[in-house]
Every structure is written in C-alpha cells, then in structure tokens.
Amino acid sequence: MPQSSGSSPTRGPDPGAWVPASRAAPLPPWWATTESIVIPPARIPPDDHPEDYEPAPPPQPSMTKAATSPTDVSPAPAGTPSFGTVSEAPFGAVSGAIPAQPTPSSAPHTTRLGAPAPGASDRRQFHRYAGAAVMTAILAEGQIMEVSDVLAASPIQLALERADDLLDDLLDAHEATPPAHILAQTERLRRGLERLSRRSIPAGDAHRRDVLRGRVAVLGADAAFKLGDIETARSLTSLGFQAGRSVGEGALRGSAREVAAVNEFYAGRPDEALRLARDGLTHVSGGAVRARLVCQEARALAALGDVRGAAQALDRAYDLADAIPADQWGRPGPSFDQFNPVEVPYNATTALCLLGRPQAAQEHADLALPKLDGMNAPGFRSVIRLDLALALARQGRLELDQVCALATEAIQISWGRTVASVSGRADQLLAATRPHSEVRQVRDLAVLIREWQRSAARQRPGGRAVPVPSSPV
C-alpha cells in the first residue's frame, strides 16, 4: 500500500501543529520509532457507484406547498427534502407543507422495535421524506397536547408505536435542526415514556419501552453535546448505557459510549474519549455501531499524537464500513443500526489534520466532501471544512486565501444552526489566524464567526429564523 503524501511519518506532527495539553512534555517511546507508518488511503465502498448519490427527482408542484422553514435557512443541496414550516398546528397535524410521497429511492430507516426486519432495499435510499411532515408537527409552537399526555392517554401498544415514530422523526431531523429543538423534544418524549413505566404492561412491551427510553436518552445526549452542555450530555449517555445494560442491548450500550466519546473529544479530553470508545467496543462485535466506535478511537488516538494507533484504527474503520450492506447505510450522525461509509473519510480528515498531515487529510476529504454536500448534514459539512482550514492555517501566511474561503463557506453552511463542535473549531481557527489580523479577509472572517456564534441565542424552541448573510460581513 503506497504511503500517502504528508509530513514524514517518523517524526510526528509538523512544527506548529496542535498538541493536546494533556500530553506530558517527554514524548512517549513509540514517538521516536524509525519504522515506517503507513497512513491508509481513502477508500470507496466496494458496492458504491457514483449514481448512488444522484439527487431524487423533485416533488410535483401540485403535491407540495411552498414553505419557509426557520430551521432550514440556507439553500439545501439538490434533492434534499425540506423540513417544512413550523406551524401552529396541533400535535399530529401538519400545516404549511405537504411532503412528497416516498419514491422507490426513499431511504432505509432505523429498524422498528418489535417489528420484523425489513427486506432488502435499494442502496440509493438515504432519507425518508415522510418523516419531515411529522417533524413539522413536533416542533409546532402551539401544540394542544404535551407529548407525554398523548402517550399516557393511549393504549400501551399505540403509545409505543407513537413513541417509536417520534424517535424515528427526531433521528431524521437532528442533523439539520437546531439542537435546542431536538433536546426539548427528547425531554418531552422521555417524560412520556417514564409515565408509561407507571402502568402495568406485558414483559415484551416493557422491554420495548426501556429500549426506547435508552435510545431517546442517547439522542438527547447528542443534542446536549451540540449545545455545549457537557454535563447534561454525560448524564444522558449514562442513562442510555444503564438502559442498555438493564435490557441486554449491546448496540444501545455501544451507541451510548460512542456519543459519550464524541462529547469528551470535543470537551478536550481525548484520553477519556479513547477509554469510552474502547469500552463501547467490548459491547458490540460488528456492524454499524462498531464502525462508529472505531472512528472515535482513531480520532482520540490522533488527538493524543499516536500516529501508528490512529492509522491502524482508520484502516479497521474502512474494513468495517466495507462490510456493512448498502441497505444499512443511513445519514451521518447518531444511529443504532445504520452507518454511512462517508463517516470514515470524514473522521480520517479530522484525525490526519490533528496529526499535522494536511495533504493526506485532503485525500480523504476529497472523497467525503462530494457525498456530504449531497446530504442535509450541515454540521458534518462545516466541521470537515474547518478542519482543513485549521490545518492549512498552521502552514503559514501563504494559505490564508484558501483558509478564509473554506471557513467562510463552513459558517454559511451552518448559519442558523450553531453547534459546539463547529463553534469550537471556529475558535481554534481564529486563534491560528490572529497573527495575520492585518489581512482584511481574516478580519472579515472573525466578524462573521462572532455574529454566527451570537445567533445561537435565537435558535431556541419558538425562536424565529436567523437570516443568512448574502455575502461575508
């Protein structure tokens, strides 16, 4: 396997590369090794084809009513469904948008609890249009009934079906919706499931209810992390892990550990992120959750400066992604039984940027960016651009034009949806470019980032849309 371009693999990160504060001054013994370390090249899944990423045909004008969403404030990529209008409709009703009916290219979705496994589906399926309609009602400002009241007033089987539907729709929407909305809805859903626990129900239904409670807690933890609420995220991942342990669900325990590892990674504790990721690996033997955990292991090792360990983990992550059937590919982000192979080159880009190897990182980014840009995943699209910009900024003044262009694009992609992972990367970029503040593009970028960060206060449930700047400030 040819070695990817980048700095010399035997001397660690390039001068000026970010080094975690947690690493002690003397370098560990493996750092000085003279053996060659092979960085794995970017790979395309074996059954992947370019036509898999062609946008779905747009809905017919007669079936769709034009709407403007306060959570989707930037033009979505072609073929990406809109999340409709936040309306004044009661719970369970939809106002302002009628989604297109699912087409043969509709995406596979999370396997429903207590339902038979779905048959083989087209590998081009990535998103379910129908979920957007329910999500519109969930985020309505004038709900007549609280979610917990709806569940409590329903027969147990119907209540669990409704809870399952709501969780599915939150999973569909969470990567394109301000995290404060997702956290609020997971809290409501969790309260409803807790009220169900006071009722006497059959053992099978009780198992399904407890799995749902654990999954809702894990998704809520992801939303809390995106808001920068580290402690709440820790508490919710712990609840999710305990639920997985009580019902014997290894995938749930692994998913809780994966979200916890992401939380600690962005909190600046890569050693704890590594511990959590490796603990999660003990609960799953393969599949989507294991692939996601290995990606977190690779990023944590890169943040700790372990070039060899990160390279080996990335190689394993590509192998695991290759083994996942196309009908289990989902959208990037938290999931309990799906994984999109694009997450491997995405995480590889972050890892190699942390190791001070921007050229090798660019190879993986070149594979990830076209696919991410075809999905409604603004957080992923912004972080990968900021990672590349940050790596280039450390190369010196000659790269400033490209740095500012990448960072400006990243902020505009996430305008109206401020999340901690993107905001933290933006802060690091501002620190790296501060020595060049006499350059106009650098000053304009700083103003744009600060305005975007301040807009987070207007993204709470019930808030209105944050306008997208037509051009850099």
Which pLDDT tens digit goes with each residue over 302-316? Answer: 999 999 999 999 999
Q: What is the pLDDT of residues 98-141, one digit of tens each?
A: 334 444 334 444 445 544 444 444 444 444 444 444 444 444 43
Domain boundaries, the chain: 258-376, 389-464
pLDDT at 347: 95
What is the CB neighbour count within 10 angstroms for residue 385?
Answer: 25
The span from the CA of 336 to the CA of 254, in Å, is 9
pLDDT band, very low/low/confident/very high, at 177 (cuts 50, 70, 90)? confident
Fold of 258-376: 1.25.40
Residue 152 banded pLDDT, cuts 50, 70, 90: low
What would the pLDDT profile of 360-385 be if each residue is shown by its tens digit? 999 999 999 999 999 888 999 999 99
- pLDDT tens-digit series, residues 396-412: 777 889 999 999 999 99
In this predicted structure, what is the pLDDT of residue 147? Answer: 60
Select the more confidently predicted residue: 155 or 188. Answer: 188
| Residue 42 to residue 219: CA distance in whole angstroms | 29
pLDDT tens column, 83-103: 333 333 333 333 333 334 444
Q: What is the pTM of this model?
A: 0.68
Cβ burial 356-367 (10 Å sphere, 16+ → b, else e): bbbebbbbbbeb
| Structure tokens, 295 | 């990606």
- CA torsion 265-269-275-280 (nearest 10°) is -30
- CA torsion through residues 57, 60, 64, 67, sign: positive
- The C-alpha atoms of residue 85 and residue 96 are separated, in whole angstroms, by 6
């980048």: which residue's tokens? 6
